[in-house]
Homo-oligomer: A and B are copies of this chain.
Amino acid sequence: MSEPLFPRVALLGIGLIGSSIAINLRDRGLAGEIAISTRSQATLARAEEIGLGTSYHTDAGEAVRGADLVILCVPVGACGPLAAQIAGDLAEGAIVTDVGSVKGSVVADMAPHLPPHVHFVPGHPIAGTEQSGPDAGFLELFENRWTILTPVPGTAEDATARLTALWEAMGARVETMTPEHHDLVLAIVSHVPHLIAYNIVGTAADLETVTQSEVIKFSASGFRDFTRIAASDPTMWRDIFLTNREAVLEMLSRFSEDLASLQRAIRWGDGDALFDLFTRTRAIRRSIVEAGQDTAEANFGRQPPRKDAWNEPGE
């Protein structure tokens, strides 16, 4: 095994992303020590049980002491307070990064607390599943996925380069952009799609003309795809919408405008308008598959459900 990229990495927070990073550091020999810290005793114990790190700390400050890389893997709302908490323990020249889905607010919340002797390189791996917790992580999560780094003005190029090397070693492809642009991009490719998925599932649950049992039984016709997204971690997503408010509201108003015009096309029987849009959207799916960002298999290559899973949903 060659020299690890980082002698000591501190992972603060050990959910889906944190545990996937830990598994990559461990199995690919990218770090000497892996110091793990998280608030919940139970979660920390579980991380130790499944051997995600080399040391486990309830005190985040203790975990970051002597670390040359510190990665915050907590909901974006928790980044500011956590930065304040660890500021005094950060080593000279340490690289501090995060994996938050919003960058503008994270930069605003964290930067003021960080001492001048560390390098702050905010980051966001565009990867995930609807599952969460230390058991959700896996080695391939970042494989062929993009990680966006949003270095702030004055960031040492060497720090960005070392962090880029780490993400690439974990299988990811790296792009850098400003925090503001990142937040606009994510609002449309992730935040608004999650919001409308949560919303349609809520709308369906509240109907009195259609039973919830019917919604569940007949979900295979499209609805079930939305429920997967709407099963994502509630705390993480609450924070995302609260912290990327401006960009989300902007994209949401465009979405609603477009939906209103589709609604009008349906009301007035304008089949051509519908057909044109439905043809245009098909091309975008093709591009995503060609770019290797999704499988070409029908239904995502879902396996036919097992008979033993049959189970009549209750009324």
Contacts and interface: CB of A to CB of B under 8 A. Distances in A.
A126 B258 CA distance: 28
The prevalent SS among residues of A at the interface is: helix
A111 to B, nearest CB: 22
A186 B200 CA distance: 13
B278 A220 contact: no
B277 A217 contact: no
Nearest to A266: B241
A223 B189 contact: yes
Counting chain A residues whose Cβ lies within 8 A of the other chain, the interface size class is 35 or more
Contacts of A140: 304
A293 B219 contact: yes
A295 interface: yes
Contacts of A287: 212, 216, 313
Contact of A210 (B184, B248, B288): B184
B227 A288 contact: yes
A156 interface: no
Contacts of A189: 204, 210, 214-215, 218-219, 221-223
B281 A203 contact: no
Contacts of A2: none
Nearest to A252: B263
Interface string A223-244: 1111111111011011101100
A263 B249 contact: yes
Contact of A190 (B148, B192, B223, B228): B223
A241 B272 CA distance: 12
Interface string A126-170: 111111000010001001111010000000000000000000000
A207 B221 contact: no
A195 B205 CA distance: 18
19 contacts: A175-B217, A188-B207, A188-B210, A189-B221, A190-B221, A193-B222, A199-B258, A199-B277, A203-B251, A230-B281, A230-B282, A238-B274, A242-B266, A245-B266, A249-B267, A291-B313, A294-B305, A295-B302, A299-B300
The 9 closest A-B pairs by CB, nearest first: A292-B309, A190-B221, A129-B298, A234-B278, A231-B285, A230-B281, A201-B281, A227-B285, A193-B222
